[in-house]
Copies of this chain bind each other. A is one copy, B any other.
Amino acid sequence: MAAQTAALTGLARVNLRQQALTALRRAITTGALAPGTHLVETELSEQLQVSRGTLREALRQLQQEGLVSAGPRGWLSVRTLGAPEVLDVFAVRAALESMAVRTLSRREDRAAVVTALRERVRAMEQVVDRPLEDRVEADLDFHRALCELTGNATLLHTWQALEGSIRMSIMWAGTERAVSNMRVDRHAAIVDVIDAGDVTAAVDCVQAHMDEAAANLVS
């Protein structure tokens, strides 16, 4: 019996709402569902093969994530992002991540944090030759880790609520403009200042990183 239980792993049972949510989020952040597209519940539920009720729950969440916006009569459409919105998103993102590095660089036991972050930087290095999609993933992993490592669950949660909008911003800007934000050395620099424990330098570094990223995207 022991041999069996060792071989058998728990089944991944994820409910339809979650699946629908993931599928929709992906469709939107990859551009498969173009901004402005009117989302008709009956159509989507048929395409995804889920009931409208289930679909609606997923749509509500996307709405709160800011990927989907509501029209006057409750009609939903894929949110249209423009330069001003992108700047807004990145301004808030900068505020959150600034707070994260301020917290991290104040910690006494930040050695472990630095180790974990360097791991992420290494992951970024390994995908420099891969398609943009993978690089974005590694980039966001790094930034998410910044929030996660603070141990502040609210911070992580808030950041993740922005994640969809961030992905949309990157997609909206297009490959050429996005790629310059994935530079590994810029991220390594952030880890270095955290390591050094210089709070103001760390905050400035992240703020600059974000300002530059936003400027690149809307340029």
When the two chains form their complex, are residues A99 and B95 in contact, meaning their CB atoms are under 8 A apart? yes
When the two chains form their complex, are residues B64 and A154 in contact, meaning their CB atoms are under 8 A apart? no
Comparing A116-124, A158-166, A174-182, A186-194, the segment that makes contact with chain B is A158-166
Contacts A60-B61, A92-B99 hold; do A154 and B162 have CB atoms under 8 A apart? yes
Please tell me how many copies of the chain the complex holds.
2
In the complex, A91 has a CB within 8 A of chain B:
yes
CA distance A147 to B161 in the complex (A): 17
Residues of A contacting B: mostly: helix
In the complex, A88 has a CB within 8 A of chain B:
yes
Taking CB atoms and an 8 Å cut-off, the chain A residues in 33-70 that contact chain B are 53, 56-57, 60-61, 64, 66
Closest to A52 in B: B53
Per-residue CB contact flags for chain A residues 144-169 toward chain B (1 = under 8 Å, else 0) read 00000000111101100110010000
CA distance A162 to B95 in the complex (A): 15
> Nearest Cβ in chain B — how far from A15, in angstroms?
7
Residue in B60, B153, B162 whose beta carbon sits within 8 Å of that of A60 in the complex: B60
Closest to A98 in B: B95
Per-residue CB contact flags for chain A residues 86-101 toward chain B (1 = under 8 Å, else 0) read 0011011011101100
